[in-house]
Amino acid sequence: MSLLDVADLSVTFPTETERVAAVRGLNYHVDAGEVVALVGESGAGKSAGAMAVVGLLPEYAEVTGSVRLHGDELLGLSDQKMSRVRGKAIGTVFQDPMSALTPVYTVGDQIAEAIEVHNGSTTRRAARSRAIELLDLVGIAQPEQRARAFPHELSGGERQRVVIAIAIANDPDLLICDEPTTALDVTVQAQILDVLKTARDVTGAGVLIITHDLGVVAEFADRAIVMYAGRAVEVASVAQLYRDRRMPYTAGLLGSVPRLDAPQGARLVPIAGAPPSLAALPPGCTFAPRCPLAIDDCRLAEPDLITVGTNHTAACIRTEQVTGRSAAEIYGVSTTPNGGDRKETDPPVVLRVENLTKTYKLTKGVVLRRTVGEVRAVDGVSFELAQGRTLAIVGESGSGKSTTLHQILDLTAPQAGSIEVLGADVATLSSRARRALRGDMQVVFQDPVASLDPRLPVSEVLAEPLSANGFDKRRIDDRVSELLQIVGMRRADANRYPAEFSGGQKQRIGIARALALQPKILALDEPVSALDVSIQAGIINLLLDLQDRFGLAYLFVSHDLSVVKHLAHRVAVMFKGKIVEQGDGDQVFTDPRDEYTRKLLAAVPQPEPNRG
Amino acid sequence: MTEPVTTETATTARSGLDTHGFASRRTLVWRRFLRNKPAVVSLVLLVLFFVGCYALPPLLPYSYTDLDYYALQQPPSVDHWFGTNALGQDLLALTLRGMQKSMLIGVCVALIATVLAATVGAIAGYFGGWRDRRLMWLVDLLLVVPSFIVIAIVTPRLGSSDRVFWLILLFSVFGWMISSRIVRGMTMSLREREFVVAARYMGVPNWRIIVRHILPNVASLLIIDTTLNVGTAIIGETGLSFLGFGIQPPDVSLGTLIADGTNSATTFPWVFLFPAGVLVLIVLCTNLIGDGIRDALDPSARPLRRKRR
């Protein structure tokens, strides 16, 4: 008998108009000491499939099937009885450590509370000293002092360590981790995975990890369950899955992951279309509408998981077509970089930044404000961006990369240093010239939801930069339909509101808006990090195509080194406001000079198991 | 609110998606509003009321000052559709006369106060700095002035001809401060949102950002504010008139009519019920219209076309 047995689990969210089937007949088991990953894109039902185990779904969710921990049925238990299981036999690590901790209690108290709740006999003192032990275990330095810290006084990584400490406080048998590293920086992510490994070894618990990051799966998990539209579509050991995937969806998912060993300009394999609506599923295989191998039989009935190897099952009737073929072959796309015969003449420089500095004053006191110091957010940064090229600014959160970008986009005189856009020094611009220059430099933001006004239909979103720059009605309409076509959307989409589109489509609209005025420079502020991998691949390809087509210069800000590898000609690595290394993409990635760059590169989880 | 709608966009409402021009926000909002039947009915009703209370009195056999000594406190009949009061005045004529005043005051006060609140709140919140400080001083100042007493002192000194105008002005001036503070707070958080930043980087002028991005996103609040203000203003005027400061006899408003009718509400209900019913209808209509506009402006509101089978 395994530690956790989930059989025929279904989760349905009834809404006023429709019933959303988030999980449809999911079976899995977790053994003690084993790490099982639920992998899938957003909306695949992976969170619902795991949270049903701990009973943390909203009350109106309809859950059927069976969840057995050590053979005891958990479904149908009252909330009170579940509370005795949660935190005791099952520990949970959530995605966002800031909201998982109560801001008004010290972290030591919060760990101690987790212990006291489940052990009525412990004294406060014992719980406290155990809390300090746990903090030490999860790798927090000076645990006695840090136990008295409030959550906001800790860094993101330290907070996540505290959450893990709470999760393992009562020596649980099962640890459920819901995207435990998604909200964290790359280097911190690697550390947290190490802590989780330690936690598993110390407690001997089985781990169920929910993630969309195939790199994390490869680094950490033993077995993986790939989910699509509420069902498991492929189940295999991680080594098997990466070597010999049989389901076209898994192949596409792996093919769409950007890789550190790809040359600049290499295209990815996107999966066309978007996941189906879980409220109105098409008959037959749910993946068939997006599948390049779909035949008529696929649309007749939804295939069950078929055994294709030892401990390897896939829900597909065309698995033999997948074996031994690369994702690019299956999906019929070419991944080779276009325009390899790019002429080697030096293109003109369109953006030159020299010694850019931005400091924030730290003040103290309310009535008599006095400066007690300053934070150098950007500290003497210099770089050049040539036409038709991509410069990537890489760094972790707080490195000053976004501040640099917004300083440039502001087109106002910087505190120190100079910014030169298309040969014009921004400090000397008249307001009319600044207005004109804005048309040449546009921005695409990270969050496609926040960057589009929810109350404007798409046609007006795209028309806005045009009408602000004096286009007339007819030319606006022409340009809007042209733009939609450039980013691969339909004309009819223009009359809908942003909320009606998927994340990838919203980002395409954001890119179309940035292209409206035919800019020469496009500033990309983490344009793909909020998207699912298969969608992200499409956007990366689009950006590469647009650069080839219009000769755009990209100023690309990102924390994701694999994405940078695909896009960037030159890379600048930022750390604490300074550029620690700058050079050609290939050189920085293959032969990093700086210590920090090496650390950053080593921390990137790669979708290849057992590479070390 | 935005640029004028050209005929080109107006035609897209007729033939759907594949015409030449793209539907503007205005067209889409209007289409969504038209789908909301209660709101459309309310709008038609309110317009009918407005037109009726000015167009109907000349056509009636009795004016609101005429006294019919042969019909004192008569229930509704063929001669007097709404009945008569103790002086033999025709209640239909009185109600229409009262509606003229009350609707004018209610609608104008609500619109002016909300426009003031939106302007001041959006400017203070969007620009910040000295504009924010000065405008908020003004708001704080107006908040501590006892408005009811000021109105009560000012109105009796005015001639009856421009009294309605002054009532509208005073009610508006004292009615916008709290909503403007809320608008300011919402604007301050909207200002940091990426779509506003994006618009700024695209070179869209500030006033255009306020009109196109900030105001539509606080529209829900503004619309609720307006519809509530209609009722508040009518009732505020009623209170003033009741105390003898607002509309003075022989002129009437819905407020004075209701005040007169309350004494005999149980014995001669029509004296009270008709003006009160009209008041309730006006407030109800404005609320339904407000709901309709809000849902039409908010794309995340449930689609009104029911798909249920």
pLDDT digits (tens, 9 = 90+) for A242-286: 888 888 888 888 888 888 888 888 888 888 877 787 777 878 888
- B-chain residues within 8 Å CB-CB of A279? none
Reduced to 3 DSSP states, what percent helix, strand and coil does chain B have, rounded to the nearest 5?
A: 70, 0, 30
* CA A84 from centroid of its chain's CA atoms: 33
What pLDDT, on a 0 to 100 scale, did the predictor assign at position A162? 92
* N residues, chain A: 612
pLDDT at B17 over 60: no
Mutate to test the interface with B, among A18, A437, A464 (most CBs of B within 10 A): A464
Work out the angle at residue B57's Cα, subtended by the Cα atoms of residues B51 and B63, and round it to the nearest 5 degrees: 155
Q: Are A565 and A260 in contact (CB under 8 A)?
A: yes
Please give the radius of gyration of chain A, using alpha carbons only, rounded to the nearest integer: 26
What pLDDT, on a 0 to 100 scale, did the predictor assign at position B304? 43
Which one, of B1, B25, B45, B13, lies nearest residue B289 by Cα?
B45
**How distant is the Cα of A476 from the closest Cα of chain B, in angstroms?**
9
Which residue reads 């407690």 in tokens? A203
* B204 and chain A in contact, CB less than 8 A: yes
Angle at which helix B177-191 crosses helix B91-127, to 10 degrees, equals 40
What is the number of CB-based contacts under 8 A between chain A and chain B?
98
- Helix (H) or strand (E) segment spanning residue A224: strand A223-228
Partner-chain contact B25 A513, CB within 8 Å: no
* N residues, chain B: 309
* B195 and chain A in contact, CB less than 8 A: yes
Q: Which residues pair with A39 in a beta bridge?
A: A211, A226
What distance in Å separates the CA atoms of residue B247 and residue B260, rounded to the nearest whole number? 13
Give the full edge-to-edge strand order of the sheet including A349-364.
A370-386, A349-364, A416-421, A424-425
What do you get for the CA distance between the two ends of chain A, in Å?
33
Partner-chain contact B25 A460, CB within 8 Å: yes
* B23 and chain A in contact, CB less than 8 A: yes
Counting DSSP H helices and E strands in chain A, the numbers are 22, 22
| Distances B231 to A67, A169, B108, B283 between C-alpha atoms, Å | 56, 58, 12, 6
Nearest Cβ partner for B199 among A464, A481, A494: A464
Q: Could you read off the pLDDT of A446-466 as tens digits, one per residue?
A: 888 888 888 888 888 898 888
Partner-chain contact B8 A409, CB within 8 Å: no
Contacts of A72 (CB under 8 A, 6+ apart): none
Closest residue in chain B to residue A519, using alpha carbons only: B202
Q: Could you read off the pLDDT of B250-268 as tens digits, one per residue?
A: 778 887 888 777 777 777 7
Which residue reads 């800000």 in tokens? A557
Numbered residues of chain A with Cβ closer than 8 Å to any chain B Cβ: 16-17, 409, 435, 438-439, 441-443, 445, 447, 450-457, 459-460, 463-465, 467-469, 473, 477, 480-481, 491-492, 494-495, 497-500, 510, 513, 516-517
Closest residue in chain B to residue A457, using alpha carbons only: B25
pLDDT at A530 over 90: no
Contacts of B71 (CB under 8 A, 6+ apart): B77, B79, B80, B84, B88
Closest residue in chain A to residue B19, using alpha carbons only: A492
Contacts of B134 (CB under 8 A, 6+ apart): none
Higher pLDDT, B104 or B13: B104
Q: Which residues pair with A307 in a beta bridge?
A: A313
Q: Considering only A102-106, A509-513, B36-40, B72-76, which range has the smallest mean pLDDT?
A: B72-76
Q: Are A254 and A271 in contact (CB under 8 A)?
A: no
What pLDDT, on a 0 to 100 scale, did the predictor assign at position B117? 93
* CA A568 from centroid of its chain's CA atoms: 19
**How distant is the Cα of B190 from the closest Cα of chain A, in angstroms?**
10
**How distant is the Cα of A11 from the closest Cα of chain B, in angstroms?**
23
pLDDT at B282 over 60: yes
pLDDT at A566 over 80: yes
* B199 and chain A in contact, CB less than 8 A: yes
Q: What is the DSSP string of A30-53?
A: E-TT-EEEEE--TTSSHHHHHHHH
CA torsion A545→A489→A459→A547, rounded to 10°? 0
The 10 Å CB-count burial string (b at 16+, else e) for A486-497 is bbebeeebbbbb
Which one, of A542, A579, A583, A585, lies nearest residue A565 by Cα?
A585
- A 10 A CB-CB count for A430 gives 8
- Helix (H) or strand (E) segment spanning residue A25: strand A19-30
What distance in Å separates the CA atoms of residue A255 and residue A268, rounded to the nearest whole number? 7
* B8 and chain A in contact, CB less than 8 A: yes
pLDDT at A48 over 80: yes
Nearest Cβ partner for B198 among A445, A463, A469: A445
* B136 and chain A in contact, CB less than 8 A: no
Contacts of A482 (CB under 8 A, 6+ apart): none
Burial of residue A509 (CB within 10 Å: 0-12, 13-18, 19+) is buried
What distance in Å separates the CA atoms of residue B76 and residue A536, rounded to the nearest whole number? 73
Q: Which residues pair with A313 in a beta bridge?
A: A235, A307
Q: Could you read off the pLDDT of B111-156 as tens digits, one per residue?
A: 999 999 999 999 999 998 899 999 999 999 998 988 888 888 887 7
Which one, of A300, A195, A227, lies nearest residue A6 by Cα?
A227
What distance in Å separates the CA atoms of residue A261 and residue A245, rounded to the nearest whole number? 21
**How distant is the Cα of A468 from the closest Cα of chain B, in angstroms?**
5
**How distant is the Cα of B104 from the closest Cα of chain A, in angstroms?**
31
- B-chain residues within 8 Å CB-CB of A517? 202
Partner-chain contact A454 B300, CB within 8 Å: yes
Nearest Cβ partner for A451 among B198, B212, B302: B198
Partner-chain contact A477 B20, CB within 8 Å: yes
- Token pair of A36, please? 């099982």
Angle at which helix A533-550 crosses helix A503-515, to 10 degrees, equals 20
| Distances A235 to A111, A239, A434, A566 between C-alpha atoms, Å | 35, 12, 56, 30
Average the pLDDT over A297-303 and give the result.
84
Q: Are A489 and A498 in contact (CB under 8 A)?
A: no
Q: Considering only A192-206, A285-299, A547-561, B145-159, which range has the smallest mean pLDDT?
A: B145-159
Contacts of A54 (CB under 8 A, 6+ apart): A82, A85, A86, A90, A92, A176
- A-chain residues within 8 Å CB-CB of B219? 455
Which one, of B213, B8, B10, lies nearest residue A468 by Cα?
B213
What pLDDT, on a 0 to 100 scale, did the predictor assign at position B1? 39
- Token pair of B86, please? 């103790």
Average the pLDDT over B266-285 and give the result.
83
Q: What is the DSSP string of A58-104?
A: -TT-EEEEEEEETTEE-TT--HHHHHHHBTTTEEEE-S-HHHHS-TT
| Band (B307; pLDDT cuts 50, 70, 90) | very low
> What is the value of pTM for the model shown?
0.79
What do you get for the CA distance between the two ends of chain B, in Å?
38
Partner-chain contact A457 B28, CB within 8 Å: yes
| Distances A145 to A98, A100, A106, A176, B199 between C-alpha atoms, Å | 20, 21, 11, 29, 47
